Amino acid sequence: MDPVEMSAETKRYRFLALFCNLALLVFVALWHSTLSPHPLINPYGIMVAWIIPMLFPLKGIIQGKPYTHAWANFILMFYFLHGLTILWLDEGERYFALIEVILTSGAFIGNIYYARLRGKELGLKLKLLSEVEKIEKAKFTEGE
């Protein structure tokens, strides 16, 4: 555990992120394997293909690493777009798609705010572009 105590607000967003990421993982697995399996393709193969991307950031999310929470949102966008597409096109699976969009949105919001708040608590921050430019300029002008 990090030596810096988490605020109550950070804990709430951590819970939201953790709950929604894990719930999305379980829901997507159930959706594609048992709730609405593909009639022509092995449903367990489809399920594995759908959950593999969510497994990449899982360890860091469980450990509460702010950086992992931030980049996990790139993976979540795939599921968000899938849910929106199904909502628009497939009347038979609209409720499943709605659940996917809600869980993905919750995970996205939880990840963003947790990463931001926890990063501040730990003193992690990105340098401003102007600072980076000054450092780079100093490196290249030293030799002249």
Q: What is the pLDDT of residue 1?
A: 46
User: Residue 103: pLDDT above 60?
Assistant: yes
pLDDT band at 131 (very low <50, low <70, confident <90, very high): confident
Secondary-structure breakdown of the chain: helix, strand, coil percentages, each rounded to the nearest 5: 80, 0, 20
pLDDT band with cut points at 50, 70 and 90 for residue 127: low
- pLDDT tens digits, residue range 6-34? 899 999 999 999 999 999 999 999 999 99
Nearest to 83, CA basis, from 140, 134, 28: 28
What tens digit of pLDDT does each residue of 24-73 get?
Answer: 999 999 999 999 888 888 989 999 999 999 999 999 999 999 999 999 99
Q: pLDDT at position 91, please?
A: 87
Identify the CA nearest to 36 among candidates 100, 95, 115, 93: 93
